[in-house]
A and B are shown apart, each in its own frame.
Chain A
Amino acid sequence: MNGYRGPGLAVLERHGVSVWSDVEVKTTNGRFRGLILPRSETADEKHIVLKLASGYNVGLAAEAIEQMTEHGRREANYKIPEQVFPTDPAKPDVVLYGTGGTIASRLDYRSGAVVPAFSPGELYGSVPELADICNLRTEKLFGVLSENMGAEQYRELAERCREAIESGADGIVVGHGTDTMHHTAAALTFMLQDPPVPIVMVGSQRSSDRPSSDAAINLICAVKAAAESDIAEVVVCMFGPTSDEYCLLHRGTRVRKMHSSYRSTFRTIGDIPLAMIDQEKITPFRDDTRPRRRGDRRVTINTAWCEDVALLYYYPGMKPDVMEALIETGYRGIVIAGTGLGHVNKPNYPALEKARDAGVHIYMTVQTLWGFTGMYVYETGRVMMDLGVVPLANMLPEVAFIKLSWVLGQTDDRDEVKRLMLTSIGDEITDREPYNGYLLFQGGIPEVQDFLRRIKR
């Protein structure tokens, strides 16, 4: 009875009808004719859902229903159309791993459920352009929403990427939910060092059942980056501007989801992206990317992980008991996203001292996201450093959290942890911030308005 309970279920049972019955319903408001649909688990239990011949759905109150007559049954059996994905020995081989995000999906319009399209055949059915780029092999690794990704999945993903590299893939694409894509990108960067081929993470902000979806363009560009680009790094490939024009390739440790719903939500922070990419071409922006190594199948893998790491977002008036609770619970590492150049208030100093004495590693990042920590600037910064707090330069808070988890999985030695944390693996700390690494244009300013009017950004 798909989602029906209470009065809704009772009225269906009383009249001997069920989901997928084509019924005529007599209610206190008049008659309705349509197909009984499953009901969402989260909706109330007082209504039943009917799909009318026009395609519209309506809800009828169980208590208003006087009579239901079944005229037949039409069960929806929804399936993504499959077509054989063509293979061409001249084209590069790309492996696509699915982690549970719906990069491509169809909505079953009768049940309202989202059905992910994932097999090469299904993907070919929805994004046939992929066949122009590569030979595609797909594998669904897990079916978790992006917020449920964690150490276990990072490890598995890293292992499977190594397998794909060793088995000769020319590039790897990882389909991922967008919410924590930047966490996973950072984890992969640390766990899977120096890969010989591109490892491209991709997702979509609008599901592919919408004509305005970004899924197809993101996927096409990601597959193109994996198959053709000369950037053998862990990167994120997502929608670039507000307009449908191109995607951007972001380094896995410098990228962040910056808007809850925009397509162009991913931004490289404190630096510029690696390249711009569309269906026709890849346009590199810089010359410091690691090149692809053809014929080389070696990759360094290290999937160490410590789960006792926390990311603490400081706020004014924060009492020391928060940090104390973490210490007492047995956390071994704490990344603080501090204010300004990397600060917390004075009442927390004793807690920092307690942490140091308990052997807890405390690292400082900035909640401004852009910019470096600067703990020498104010006296208070120096005091904190004396208390054992290590500033992480311009490492993003989430990346620092991932890295500290990874580092503490390997060692607890204070100096070694510090050495590893401060040694940049994939630009999580950069030496310099370029002049165009911080661009948040402010709407309303005449020259910005002029830009917006002329450029379809």
Chain B
Amino acid sequence: METLPLKPFEQMTAADYAAVGFKCGLEVHQQLLTRSKLFCRCPAGHYSPHYDAEVLRHMRPTLSEMGEYDGTALMEKKTRKRIIYRLHHKTVCTYEFDDTPPFLMDDDAIDIALELAFLLRLNLVNELHIARKQYLDGSIPAGFQRTTILGVDGWLPYKDRRIGVRQLGLEEDSCREVSDQGHERVYLTDRLGMPLIEVVTEADMVTPGEAAEVCDLIRKVCRSTQKVRRGYGATRQDVNVSVTGGTRVEIKGVPQIWRIPRLVHNEANRQLALLGIRQRLRERGITTASLDAVSKDVTTLLDKTSYAPIRAAIDGGLRVKCVRLPGFDGLLNTPTQEHTTFAKEFADRVRVIACLTQLPNMVHSDVASESLWPQDWLKLRKRMHASDNDALICVWGDQRDTDTACQEIAIRAREATEGVPNDTRQALKDGTNGFERVLPGPERMYPDTDLPPIGLAVERVRRAAAARPEFVWETEARFRAGGMVDDDVRRLGISPRSRLATRAINELGLSPVLLGVVLAQRLRALDRAGLRPQRLSDDALWELLKSHAQARVSRDGLPWLMEQMLQRGGDEPIIDEHVLRFLDEIDMRPATEAQLNDLIDQAVADAAPRSFATVDKRARFVMGRLMTRLIGRVDGQRLLERVAERLARERAMAHGGTS
């Protein structure tokens, strides 16, 4: 078996990627936290797999400016898909399935996007023009997505350089696909129309790791506004990859950042492998012009075959067709990605465009032994007039689908003589990618005639600029400089409590380390315990932190108090007044030295008649006794030290007594 062009993923270095001219750019999509959808008044953020009705649509390609069908459009026409939309009463109205014109764009969405435009330091436009971006796959019932650009040419600081941000778009989200089998694709429409921003970077990332890190940075910037949605699917990214000599290939819909590096590494491999295949085809004298991929109906020829999938197809009255790829012998087995060969490029096209979705959907002569019998292949070779240098691919299905499949195989073979085709690809779970559709051209953008342009008034822009949070890297730097642990820095940096933390550092002089513990770790723990700490208002937390700074509450008392208040509180937010009242009710003043000594004496006395296996266990018993009285009034660590010291002294005295 041949090997992949690049070293295994784990062994790759930045220099290795540089050597092949690896470049990567990102398109990060992030749903905004608005009440309504972008162009209608349906509620945003409601998901439901249930539906009340179904509507069927077909997408009809429209001609491009040059009088030609856009490649994607043509592809979708070939698929002849029936597209079914599932409608749920609560989540869609007639706008989403294109039976009502758009309402005016949601103002909250524009304001949030403007804030982000400032965070990304974009050149802001003064007037939004809404465009229709065509999608023929049916993911939007109108056949286009309404979208607009807020700004261009911004940047993000990364390492010691700048990552260019090409543009920031604001658009409506698409449908969720339920299934895509044969000629029928089913979509849920609940997500459709929710406001989404799209951050497009330049291809400034030069290793897979950088792509993931920059993606994470963009996500943090979005979250730092506190006005974006979270959860699975609320952030999705497309990654585009190219290597020297290759093509800019877009991989769509990566749901998690950690998947990015392996995915783009595999794509780099694929492009290099495809370039290698082109080289070998050239050496064999196969060119775009000379390639003639003949196909024939071989149903009767394979009449006696025992290969199960073809057997079943023939028995079911379907056709079997064979395509000869001259000079391709052996190439179909060339690895293109991890555990993926060149043959999959063909199988993908057959699946997606000819809609032969049941796998396996083809067999080829490079893995002859695993499918048809040798005598079947011999018969096929003879029938197809194939030489030893040629590869054969067989597909099965109905007349029209197999015709489409043969055409697509021929098209993909021709593309192999040219290099890396202009695909949009789909991220797969195993880190590889598969064909999704032909990359759409710029012809797909149309102005939307249903809506007027939206002027961005100076006052509105000023308001957005004022509302934007601090740059997340500045917040993080402040936290980190104060010694906050990395995990807390990361959490608190994009947390709604980050402004509170900054204020506490600046005005109360509290240490970032403490704020990390209280505002990142403890709040998270309380949340996990189901105590809904979001009920604690910033004012309430401020009051608590202030009490600590004024030495009214000890360090350990802070989390204890938070927990107490959450346990007692109802559904109402807990405000500063509640904190003050609570602090009055209970004595949270740090214990005095005298009180402390008395209590320790008493606890040690209580422990004395009992026997413990170790000194540590005795200490723990004493601490347990003490903490019920002293919780929140003394630093736990210091108390433990005192108890240990006291017990050691007792022991020494006891020993002294017996000696």
The chain A residues found within 8 Å of chain B, CB to CB, are: 27, 29-32, 40, 42-44, 46-47, 49, 52-61, 64, 76, 78-81, 106-110, 112, 114, 125-126, 206-213, 216, 242-245, 259, 261-263, 449, 452-453, 456-457
A249 and B59 alpha carbons, distance in the complex (Å): 23
Minimum CB distance partner of B76 in chain A = A211
A56 and B442 alpha carbons, distance in the complex (Å): 9
Task: Establish whether residues B129 and A208, one from each chain, have CB atoms under 8 Å apart when the complex forms.
Answer: no
- Find A452's partner among B53, B98, B131 (CB 8 Å cutoff): B53
Task: Establish whether residues A212 and B98, one from each chain, have CB atoms under 8 Å apart when the complex forms.
Answer: yes
CB distance from A454 to the nearest CB of B (A): 9
Minimum CB distance partner of A110 in chain B = B65
A58 and B73 alpha carbons, distance in the complex (Å): 26
Task: Establish whether residues A32 and B152, one from each chain, have CB atoms under 8 Å apart when the complex forms.
Answer: yes
Q: A30-B153, A58-B149, A212-B98 are in contact. Are A47 and B57 (CB under 8 A)?
A: no
27 contacts between A and B (CB under 8 A): A31-B123, A32-B123, A42-B452, A43-B453, A47-B126, A55-B443, A55-B445, A56-B129, A56-B147, A58-B125, A58-B129, A59-B129, A59-B455, A64-B126, A79-B67, A81-B68, A114-B449, A125-B63, A210-B98, A211-B60, A211-B134, A212-B143, A213-B62, A243-B56, A244-B57, A244-B58, A262-B99
- Residues on the B chain within 8 Å of A27, using CB: 123, 126
Task: Establish whether residues B67 and A59, one from each chain, have CB atoms under 8 Å apart when the complex forms.
Answer: no
A64 and B151 alpha carbons, distance in the complex (Å): 14
Q: A44-B455, A55-B444, A212-B142 are in contact. Are A125 and B67 (CB under 8 A)?
A: yes
Task: Establish whether residues B126 and A29, one from each chain, have CB atoms under 8 Å apart when the complex forms.
Answer: yes
Interface: B17 (CB within 8 A): no
A213 and B84 alpha carbons, distance in the complex (Å): 16
Q: A59-B455, A261-B101 are in contact. Are A112 and B447 (CB under 8 A)?
A: yes
Task: Establish whether residues B126 and A56, one from each chain, have CB atoms under 8 Å apart when the complex forms.
Answer: no
Task: Establish whether residues B65 and A109, one from each chain, have CB atoms under 8 Å apart when the complex forms.
Answer: yes
Task: Establish whether residues A112 and B56, one from each chain, have CB atoms under 8 Å apart when the complex forms.
Answer: no
A449 and B127 alpha carbons, distance in the complex (Å): 44
Interface: B446 (CB within 8 A): yes
Task: Establish whether residues A59 and B445, one from each chain, have CB atoms under 8 Å apart when the complex forms.
Answer: no
Interface: B52 (CB within 8 A): yes
Taking CB atoms and an 8 Å cut-off, the chain B residues in 44-81 that contact chain A are: 51-63, 65, 67-68, 73
Task: Establish whether residues B99 and A261, one from each chain, have CB atoms under 8 Å apart when the complex forms.
Answer: yes
Task: Establish whether residues B67 and A213, one from each chain, have CB atoms under 8 Å apart when the complex forms.
Answer: no
- Find B144's partner among A79, A210, A261, A453 (CB 8 Å cutoff): A210
Taking CB atoms and an 8 Å cut-off, the chain B residues in 413-445 that contact chain A are: 442-445
Q: A211-B59, A261-B101, A262-B94 are in contact. Are A59 and B126 (CB under 8 A)?
A: yes
Task: Establish whether residues B124 and A213, one from each chain, have CB atoms under 8 Å apart when the complex forms.
Answer: no
Interface: B334 (CB within 8 A): no
Interface: B377 (CB within 8 A): no
- Find A54's partner among B98, B124, B127, B442 (CB 8 Å cutoff): B442
Contact with A along B121-144 (1 / 0, CB 8 A): 011111111011011100001111
A183 and B356 alpha carbons, distance in the complex (Å): 49
A244 and B55 alpha carbons, distance in the complex (Å): 8
Q: Which 8 A-B pairs have the closest CB atoms?
A: A59-B127, A211-B143, A30-B123, A81-B67, A55-B445, A61-B126, A243-B56, A452-B53
Task: Establish whether residues A210 and B62, one from each chain, have CB atoms under 8 Å apart when the complex forms.
Answer: yes
A52 and B444 alpha carbons, distance in the complex (Å): 14
The size of the chain B interface, using a CB distance under 8 A, is 60
Q: A212-B142, A212-B143, A453-B53 are in contact. Are A109 and B125 (CB under 8 A)?
A: no
Interface: B148 (CB within 8 A): yes
Contact with A along B86-116 (1 / 0, CB 8 A): 0000000010011111000000000000000
Task: Establish whether residues A243 and B57, one from each chain, have CB atoms under 8 Å apart when the complex forms.
Answer: yes
- Residues on the A chain within 8 Å of B52, using CB: 449, 452-453
Task: Establish whether residues A456 and B55, one from each chain, have CB atoms under 8 Å apart when the complex forms.
Answer: yes
A404 and B84 alpha carbons, distance in the complex (Å): 46
Task: Establish whether residues B136 and A78, one from each chain, have CB atoms under 8 Å apart when the complex forms.
Answer: no
A243 and B143 alpha carbons, distance in the complex (Å): 14
A206 and B97 alpha carbons, distance in the complex (Å): 12
Interface: B266 (CB within 8 A): no
- Residues on the B chain within 8 Å of A29, using CB: 123-126, 151
Minimum CB distance partner of B445 in chain A = A55
Task: Establish whether residues B125 and A212, one from each chain, have CB atoms under 8 Å apart when the complex forms.
Answer: no
What 14 new A-B contacts, CB under 8 Å, besides A31-B153, A210-B62, A261-B94?
A30-B122, A30-B123, A55-B442, A56-B169, A109-B65, A109-B445, A126-B62, A206-B98, A211-B59, A216-B60, A244-B56, A261-B100, A263-B99, A453-B54
- Residues on the A chain within 8 Å of B101, using CB: 261
Interface: B167 (CB within 8 A): yes
Task: Establish whether residues B443 and A109, one from each chain, have CB atoms under 8 Å apart when the complex forms.
Answer: yes
CB distance from B144 to the nearest CB of A (A): 7
- Residues on the A chain within 8 Å of B167, using CB: 52, 54, 56
A208 and B452 alpha carbons, distance in the complex (Å): 20
A44 and B446 alpha carbons, distance in the complex (Å): 21
Task: Establish whether residues B152 and A78, one from each chain, have CB atoms under 8 Å apart when the complex forms.
Answer: no
CB distance from B49 to the nearest CB of A (A): 14
- Residues on the A chain within 8 Å of B53, using CB: 449, 452-453, 457
CB distance from B86 to the nearest CB of A (A): 10
Task: Establish whether residues A60 and B63, one from each chain, have CB atoms under 8 Å apart when the complex forms.
Answer: no
CB distance from B53 to the nearest CB of A (A): 4
CB distance from B141 to the nearest CB of A (A): 6
